[in-house]
Amino acid sequence: MNVYDSEQIEKLLAPSRYKINSSFEVADLIIINTCAIREKAEQKVFSFLGRLADIKRRRPNLIIGVGGCVAQQEGKKILKRMPHVDLVFGTHAIYRLPYLIEKIETERCSLIDVEMSEVIEELESVIESSLDRTDPKVTSFVTIMRGCDNFCTYCVVPYVRGRETSRFPESIVNEVKCLVKSGVQEVTLLGQNVNSYGKKENLNSFPQLLGRVNEIDGLFRIRFTTSHPKDLSDDLISAFKNMDKLCNHIHLPVQSGANRILKRMNRKYTRELYLEKIDKLRNNCLDIAVTSDIIVGFPGETRADFEETLDLIKEVEFDGIFAFKYSDRPNAPAARFTNKITEQEKKDRLQILLNFQEYFTTKKNRALVGSNELVLVEGLSKKRVDKDDAQSKCQYVQWTGRTEANKVVNFIQSEGVIPGDRISKGKIVNVKIEKACSHSLSGKPVQVEISALKGEQSYAA
Ligand code: SAH
Ligand code: SF4
């Protein structure tokens, strides 16, 4: 969501005199978009801001703005702690940014705008394709709703992003169409709980919205995140079968495998209900990949509770998980819970859990060796590979992309296999998977640019 918000900031400032620059050493304006989800993210903000003090001393006309969730949470405390900051703007103030910057330029004052509003303004006017990008995007996030009404006891989101509000479906569809026009082939629809999209406002349901996005010509893939297990409906489960562009991957955060902890987290589902939903998903879409988020060391989590989480991991066999050590967040009720787990114990549990999951991630990846996967090429991988050629040892650049199930695949252009067909960013390549590493796959490209629609694939032998 922060990536999407940063892109909105880039679009909002596109008509201004400021242009994107890769070095903040020479920038006239630095905007820091911040995350408050865990303590560590917040600490990073302050250490980064500290580093900017020196640049500001050398170049006093530089304008420094802090936006996002830490800005919303800390407000004027940021200016107190970091006097070289000129602007603090909250999560609902993004669309006022051009005006705020202009005011700072003319009045040379510092400003705070952390006002929350019920209706958040929309950025409709800037067409993606009008942005001066040297490197056009292939995949893009699209926020479909903001805020959250769930109040999980560990979570800061409802306090820093406010109440849940859904965007109009027309506005979302228009945005996706613009992105497609600019070359985007895959969109990820974003919300803290996409399952409740449109309910409060009586708009389209989430499956209906998916149906409308699914009809957009030129779009290859649709993903979404995040789905709250308590609201995962049968209609949404069926969408994985019925909508040709919807990818066979769901991120379904479970957080804990122990009912006692789920209750204290206010997650409003049980371990049994979660497992039932996983069964339904798999019965409906055999090869669906399932990933999850897990928190270790929630206040009061006993060793037995933690083991229930490990047991759930074994039962579900996730394709991958994101695991986090619990940290207290301002305003979140769990910060006031007793029986806190020590930092060392949280660290140990995290390590045990990650090692445990590693086995299943590798197992799932290994099962793909020998299969053909359609990979949407996202660009060149940072890593180069050594290969023994007929005459010499060479270094090759690797292409990287993702399968429909969201697995990263790396491969090198192989002239012999694909005569005359150059691989490039945005191409859809059929790759024969040859090797499974713990967090990625690698293989050999077999054919480029086959029909983008499921069910119309034709592979070259
Ligand atoms: N809306 C999503 C989650 C968004 S936050 C959902 O409900 O699933 C992303 C992840 O951060 C959460 O799933 C959770 O695992 C983690 N997280 C949130 N608050 C946290 C905290 N206080 N400490 C540690 N991890 C936390
Ligand atoms: Fe946070 Fe829970 Fe809302 Fe997710 S559903 S954003 S974890 S309060």
Structure confidence at residue 390 (pLDDT): 58
Whole-model pTM: value is 0.92
145 and 45 fall within a common domain: no
User: Is 119 part of a structural domain of the chain?
Assistant: no
**Residue 176 CB burial class (10 angstroms; 0-12, 13-18, ≥19):** buried
**Same domain, yes or no: 168 and 219:** yes
CATH number at residue 47: 3.40.50.12160
For residue 423, the model assigns a pLDDT of 84
Gap from CA of 149 to ligand 2 centroid (Å): 8
Do 196 and 164 meet the contact criterion of CB atoms below 8 Å apart? yes
Domain that holds residue 70: 2-113
Same domain, 237 and 321: yes
Cα–Cα distance, 284 to 407 (Å, whole number):
21
Tell which of 60, 86, 113 closes a domain.
113
Instruction: Tell how far the Cα of 154 is from the centroid of ligand 1, in angstroms.
Output: 8
Among the ranges given (219-223, 232-236, 411-415), the one the predictor scored with the smallest mean pLDDT = 411-415
Same domain, 238 and 359: yes
Rounded distance from Cα 192 to ligand 1 centre (Å): 10
User: What's the number of domains the chain is made of?
Assistant: 3
**Domain for residue 118, yes or no?**
no
Check whether residue 404 and residue 440 sit in a common domain: yes
Query: 353 and 401: one domain?
Result: no
pLDDT of residue 174 exceeding 70: yes
**In degrees rounded to 5, what are phi and psi of residue 97?**
-55, -50
What is the average pLDDT across 178-205? 95
Closest CA to 16 of 93, 141, 84, 100: 100
- Regarding the beta carbon of 228 and ligand 1, being less than 6 Å apart is answered yes
326 within ligand 1 shell (Cβ under 6 A): yes
330-360, pLDDT tens digit by residue?
Answer: 999 999 999 999 999 999 999 999 999 999 9
Does 163 share its domain with 37? no
Could you tell me the pLDDT band of residue 128, with boundaries at 50, 70 and 90? low
Same domain? For 402 and 270 the reply is no
- Residues 295 and 268 grouped into a single domain: yes
Q: Where among 366, 400, 423 does a domain terminate? A: 366
Residues 452 and 334 in one domain: no
Residues at CB less than 6 angstroms from ligand 2: 148, 150-152, 155, 157-158, 192-193, 228
The 3-state DSSP class for residue 39 equals helix
E strand or H helix that includes residue 66: strand 63-67
**Nearest CA residue ID for atom 5, ligand 2:** 150
What is the pLDDT of the chain when averaged over all its residues?
91
Is the CB of residue 297 below 6 angstroms from any atom belonging to ligand 1?
Answer: no
DSSP, collapsed to helix, strand or coil, labels residue 5 as helix
SS3 assignment, position 19: coil
Ligand nearest to the CA of 152: 2
- Residue 379 located in a structural domain: yes
**Calpha distance 211→209 (Å, rounded):** 5
State whether 108 and 147 are in the same domain: no
Domain final residue, candidates 350, 366, 382: 366
